[in-house]
Copies of this chain bind each other. A is one copy, B any other.
Amino acid sequence: MTIVLTHKLSGLREVDAPHSLVAHFGPDHALQMDSGGRLNQWTIAYQTYGELNAAKSNAILVCHALTGDQHVANAHPVTGKPGWWSTMVGPGRPIDTDRYFVICSNVIGGCMGTTGPASLNPQTGRPYGLELPIVTIRDMVRAQAMLIDHLGVDTLFCVVGGSMGGMQVLQWVASFPERVFSAMPIATAAKHSSQNIAFHEVGRQAVMADPDWRKGRYLEEGVIPTKGLAVARMAAHITYLSDEALQSKFGRKLQDRDAPTFSFDAEFQIENYLRYQGSSFVDRFDPNSYLYVTRACDYFDLAADYDGSLARAFQGVKARFCVVSFNSDWLYPTAASRAIVHALNAGGASVSFVDIETDRGHDAFLLDLPEFIATSQGFLDSAAKARGLPPAAP
């Protein structure tokens, strides 16, 4: 039996018919997962920008964050908004699509065309829901590596990403040290802290507390736990911004009024902003995917796979690194980046470390901050020279 689903949310149409290139893998390229699970049939949706050179030496893999996707530098097919990293990726940008062949794929567990919990389980003909094995950061990277093979790229010129994307960068150099020439882990950590897990757990409980979640089978029952997902997003969003950023952007300003109304309405601008973040998110993201990607981060502890030694995880790493943190990021604070740098130094890697001063918090990596853009540009230019790539056209 095959269930025909009418995905209520526009975003979920991308599960079946993504506005992207899609690579399909069958049993001869099964995805063996950390949990012991195995996907005999799976797909990965991706975007590319620019041209792969003859030497195949100019490919950059961009890894997206928790609720990001492959639409890094093109208009988003669901929201119509510009690509999520248009400040960094494009002609003349640090990740210059006139010079580099840029690849960005949706992670395993996602909902933009790569196999995730909203995808049909070929064994049952219904959506996976929670039947999809738990996904880890390493599973995401395994899938990306198979995509890179499929694209005929042996060594990536650079792997770059922020937040959960940065975790993938770290996993790439640990899992495939020979395949990475340079790496930029940004605003990230080598393991999820107790507080990180705590916030993610609140989000998952908010989704699961919604009676429309239906133990994960909502798609077949024609409902969507949008209220729970919106609450999850609101809580998470606070962690993406610094206290100072909230204070300078919103402070205690009232929403469209001069005096308080003494009610439970969105009286303060910050409330209105958060409610908007929650309600707009549910139009583009699958609630079960949210469970999977948050869980993947929680399981991330790179050192744990190497007898608890992060330095050992990076042993033999040849890539040159640029580690970037933001001093007001309290989700993955500077100290977490410093720990990565220490471990890389212990392994003898070439590392530059930039802690950028900004009050914007974790989300700073998505913003057009001159110091961040210049740092990225400088690192990539220098790595390109070392890689023997021709300089940018004048």
Q: Which of B134, B210, B247, B263 contacts A209 (CB 8 A)?
A: B210
Given contacts A231-B209, A299-B260, contact A238 B198 (CB under 8 A): yes
Q: Which residues of B contact A186 (CB under 8 A)?
A: none
Q: Which residues of B contact A227 (CB under 8 A)?
A: 209
Interface size class of A (residues with CB under 8 A): 35 or more
Does A40 lie at the interface of the complex (its beta carbon under 8 Å from any beta carbon of B)? no
- A190-210 to B contact mask, C-beta < 8 Å, 1/0: 011111011101101110111
Q: Is the beta-carbon distance between B202 and A234 smaller than 8 angstroms?
A: yes
Q: Which of A48-56, A79-87, A108-116, A264-272 contacts B (4 or more CB under 8 A)?
A: A264-272
CA distance A228 to B207 in the complex (A): 10
Q: Is the beta-carbon distance between B198 and A251 smaller than 8 angstroms?
A: no
Copies of the protein in its oligomer: 2
Q: Is the beta-carbon distance between A262 and B133 smaller than 8 angstroms?
A: yes
Q: Which of B36, B134, B231, B252 contacts A194 (CB 8 A)?
A: B252
Does A320 lie at the interface of the complex (its beta carbon under 8 Å from any beta carbon of B)? no
CA distance A162 to B252 in the complex (A): 22
Given contacts A228-B209, A268-B298, contact A202 B238 (CB under 8 A): yes
Does A156 lie at the interface of the complex (its beta carbon under 8 Å from any beta carbon of B)? no
Closest Cβ of chain B to A369, distance in Å, is: 21
Q: A134-B262, A194-B268, A205-B275 are in contact. List 17 more A-B contacts (CB 8 A).
A: A37-B262, A130-B264, A134-B264, A193-B243, A194-B249, A194-B251, A194-B252, A195-B238, A198-B270, A201-B270, A201-B274, A204-B264, A205-B231, A205-B278, A208-B264, A209-B231, A235-B235
Q: Which positions in A face B, CB cutoff 8 Å?
A: 34-37, 130, 133-134, 191-195, 197-199, 201-202, 204-206, 208-211, 227-228, 230-231, 234-235, 238, 243, 246-247, 249-252, 260, 262-264, 266-268, 270-271, 274-275, 278, 291, 295, 298-299, 301, 330, 333
